[in-house]
Amino acid sequence: MTTPKDDKLATANPTGLQPSPADANRSEQAASVLAQQPGEVLTTNQGLHISDNQNSLRGGSRGPTLLEDHILREKIMHFDHERIPERVVHARGAGAHGYFQVYKSMNHYTKAGFLQDPEVKTPVFVRFSTVVGSRGSADTVRDARGFAVKFYTEEGNFDLVGNNIPVFFIQDAIKFPDLVHAIKPEPHHEIPQASAAHDTFWDFISLTPESAHMIMWVLSDRAIPRSFSMMEGFGVHTFRFINESGKSSFVKFHWKPVLGIHSLVWDEAVKLAGKDPDFHRRDLWETINRGQYPEWELGVQIVHEEDEHKFDFDLLDATKIIPELLVPVQIIGKLTLNRNPDNFFAETEQVAFHPGHIVPGIDFTNDPLLQGRLFSYTDTQLSRLGSPNFHEIPINRPIAAANNNQRDGHMRQTIVKGRVSYEPNSLGGGYPMQQPSDQGGFVSYPQPMEGEKMRVRSESFADHFSQAALFWRSQSAWEKDHIVSAFLFELGKVEVDAVRERMVSMLTQIDKFLAYRVAEGLGMAAPKPPSGAENVKRTNELEMDPSLSIANTRKDSIIGRKIAVLVANNVDKASLAVCKALEAEDAVIRFIAPRLGEIKNSEEEFIKVNYSLPTVGSVMFDAVFIPGGQQSVEALCADAHAVLFVKEAYKHGKAIAAHHNGAMLIAQAARSAGIEHGEFHGPGVITLPSGVINDSFIKNFIGAIAMHRFTERPGLDAIVA
């Protein structure tokens, strides 16, 4: 992780409220007003000093309010219009500033300026989001996550508007409104919120076989990440790189989280939606504030132009990955998020991404999903941000100068001087003028075009099941269990039998055993797969690809992991040595007690309590530590919240450690779970019944936290938590 020291960006910060160099013409006075911190005197929007902000103007102390009260009317009118339309998809999100640095010049493949010089730090703004829910929905719902990065490069803004899942539901943009209508709350009663678990979605999916691959990802734990900083990101579509000599290669973009890929389990996700609906947003905000800057490495899979057809799937089909075993990911740079927004609305809400914002050296392909997106994103900003001038909102301004003859419109900020607003002109000296391509002016990649106009899907897009099956085969046993449970939850909420039946029938084409398990769980008989379905193993005949399973991610770091330390009065001071050791590894320690305020340790020193037990749950933490101390442990054993805390942590496979008689609480939790001998045991439960805290205890605990989760504990299924 990067240290909090303030890295100097190679270019001016474009996203604060300082005037951007792009706005040379903007009035200095207007800029300074924009940049103002809250002043000392309360004023109207016109700068009139307000003497009374408590009472409206009325005729007599008990009389009617006067229409004349311009101060009241201005204030209420502004309030009435505070909300803007939320994004039609990806409404709920969180953003952060940071920078990107390439590791080595990529000039062999692309002339993109920001991918040349390892010394240059390109400023970025990143917004993560869920797709389906409204702005006020919970963070931890089952859904794809948006992962949108705006690079403020010297050659203009480049937006990589991706997701945390490398494929999509549909192959052609014309299906997008249908998909979104199907997954959003049903129109007659607006139910359910932020959930795919309802009839209309599964009706659509069961009739749309191209969605099979995406469905497997969405029902895996990828769709319930532990944190934004522990999920991958993908550009999804195949793009093009173009180098200085005009040679093009195909490229897929990947973001690889430095902390590894980790997820919640469904029970945690459900409980978090109530205990902390802002779980992911809070995590991002707090980790940046602590200086534990989230990082991702940028990876690329490059396919030479001449290899376009060497795969048995189509590179233009957004329902397909290029397995990493076929084309390895080259790591080429790093993204670091190191600054929280100053104002959510001004930055995170008003940021406008667009996959059409590209720079020389990067270009599109004919992916029919991408092509449709190129229209959608500018269009949507007109209704969401209200004007074609959304590029002037500080967060959207490029650091590269923006000069053209586009003029006027609602909320125009730039005051362009002079009489010329057309091109060609002589009265303005010919400026601004086109820049020839050999001097850096953008030209589209001259891809040859052929064929007749037609509404048709290419034959090369026809295989919908091979990669869904590859994904399934690549999962570990516990990941497969989670996928089956997810199907049982989602399809269990479907009310129309025929929809469930069609879905199970679709699953037979992915894997017979998967279909059987889901059918059995739903109380149905699994139909036979269509003949020939089981012999299909295309995608150049891979049996599995390890990069598809999160079981294979790194498990050697506890940076940013939140450790709950359960305490009450008279907690043993010596036990608390564990906390220092974990903090030294950049874990976050939180003291949780039956009540807020302070408690005293065994040496009469005060410890400030971070949370009271009724306000939290183990789902909000990565691990639990129970220090010793007779009185403290007895108080916790008598507290139902504390017992449930440990029981849930065990059920969810989390690391649990106890010193001395702290283990009594583990035993109490086990008894409450109906475990016969009152013992939770198995991997990741670490106790030290006697003696002082030693290195091996600490090392074991740290190792267990880094493992993230132990899925092999005995009796987990039987525990109700």
Q: Does 162 bind ligand HDE (CB under 6 A)?
A: yes
Q: Which stretch binds ligand HDE (CB under 6 A): 159-167, 255-263, 459-467, 562-570?
A: 159-167
Name the CA dihedral angle for 555, 259, 485, 129, rounded to a multiple of 10 degrees: 180
Contacting residue, 130, 163, 206, 229, with ligand HDE by CB under 6 A: 163
CB of 165 to ligand HDE, least distance (A): 8
Q: Which is nearer to ligand HDE, 177 or 291 (CB)?
A: 177
Question: Distance between CA 447 and CA 452 in Å, rounded?
Answer: 16
Name residue, tokens 């000296």. Answer: 429
Name residue, tokens 């999916």. Answer: 205
List of residues 6+ apart from 111 with CB closer than 8 A: 242, 243, 244, 360, 361
Question: Distance between CA 656 and CA 565 in Å, rounded?
Answer: 10
Q: Which is nearer to ligand HDE, 90 or 659 (CB)?
A: 90
CB of 529 to ligand HDE, least distance (A): 29
Contacting residue, 84, 88, 207, 498, with ligand HDE by CB under 6 A: 88
163 is catalytic: yes
Binding residues among 321-380 for ligand HDE as defined by CB under 6 A: 351-353, 369, 372-373, 376-377, 380
Contacting residue, 15, 129, 164, 287, with ligand HDE by CB under 6 A: 129
Q: Which of 135, 131, 148, 295 is nearest to 214 (CA)?
A: 131
> What 3-state DSSP class applies to 174?
helix
Task: Evaluate whether 715 touches 596 at the Cβ level (below 8 Å).
Answer: no
Q: Does 161 bind ligand HDE (CB under 6 A)?
A: yes
Q: Which is nearer to ligand HDE, 468 or 593 (CB)?
A: 468
Q: Which is nearer to ligand HDE, 213 or 709 (CB)?
A: 213
Q: Does 236 bind ligand HDE (CB under 6 A)?
A: yes
CB of 96 to ligand HDE, least distance (A): 12
Task: Evaluate whether 440 touches 360 at the Cβ level (below 8 Å).
Answer: yes
45 is catalytic: no
> What 3-state DSSP class applies to 450?
coil
Q: Does 168 bind ligand HDE (CB under 6 A)?
A: yes
Q: Does 90 bind ligand HDE (CB under 6 A)?
A: yes
Applying CB under 6 A, what is the total number of residues that bind ligand HDE? 26
453 CB neighbour count, 10 Å cutoff: 5
Q: Which is nearer to ligand HDE, 127 or 517 (CB)?
A: 127
Residue 214, burial from CB neighbour count under 10 angstroms (0-12, 13-18, 19+): buried
Q: Which is nearer to ligand HDE, 172 or 481 (CB)?
A: 172
Residue 37, burial from CB neighbour count under 10 angstroms (0-12, 13-18, 19+): exposed
Q: Which is nearer to ligand HDE, 351 or 494 (CB)?
A: 351
Exactly one of 157, 163, 340, 661 is catalytic; name it.
163
Exactly one of 49, 53, 55, 90 is catalytic; name it.
90
- 285-313 burial string, b = 16+ CB within 10 Å, else e? bebbeeebbbbbbbbbbbbeeeeeeebeb
Q: Which stretch binds ligand HDE (CB under 6 A): 82-90, 336-344, 606-614, 635-643?
A: 82-90
Q: Which is nearer to ligand HDE, 161 or 609 (CB)?
A: 161
Q: Does 93 bind ligand HDE (CB under 6 A)?
A: yes
Binding residues among 169-188 for ligand HDE as defined by CB under 6 A: 173, 176
x-or-dash string of contact with ligand HDE, 380-419, rule CB under 6 A: x---------------------------------------
549 CB neighbour count, 10 Å cutoff: 18
Question: Distance between CA 257 and CA 393 in Å, rounded?
Answer: 30
Q: Are strands 330-339 and 295-304 parallel, antiparallel or unpaired?
A: antiparallel
Q: Which is nearer to ligand HDE, 138 or 567 (CB)?
A: 138
Contacting residue, 113, 133, 146, 257, with ligand HDE by CB under 6 A: 146
Name residue, tokens 């903090």. Answer: 583
**H or E element, residue 646:** helix 640-651
CB of 321 to ligand HDE, least distance (A): 13
x-or-dash string of contact with ligand HDE, 281-320, rule CB under 6 A: -------------------------------------x--
Q: Does 127 bind ligand HDE (CB under 6 A)?
A: yes
Name the DSSP class of 242.
E
- CA geometry: angle at 127 spanning 20 and 140, to 5°? 160
CB of 128 to ligand HDE, least distance (A): 8
Q: Which is nearer to ligand HDE, 171 or 206 (CB)?
A: 171
CB of 176 to ligand HDE, least distance (A): 4
DSSP, residue by residue, 345-391: IIIIIT----TT---TTEE----HHHHHHHHHHHHHHHHHTSSTTGG
* 290 Rama class: left (phi>0) / alpha (psi -120 to 50) / beta: alpha
Q: Does 134 bind ligand HDE (CB under 6 A)?
A: no
Catalytically annotated residues: 90, 163
* Residues that bind ligand HDE in the complex, under the rule CB under 6 A: 87-90, 93, 127, 129, 146, 148, 161-163, 168, 173, 176, 236, 318, 351-353, 369, 372-373, 376-377, 380
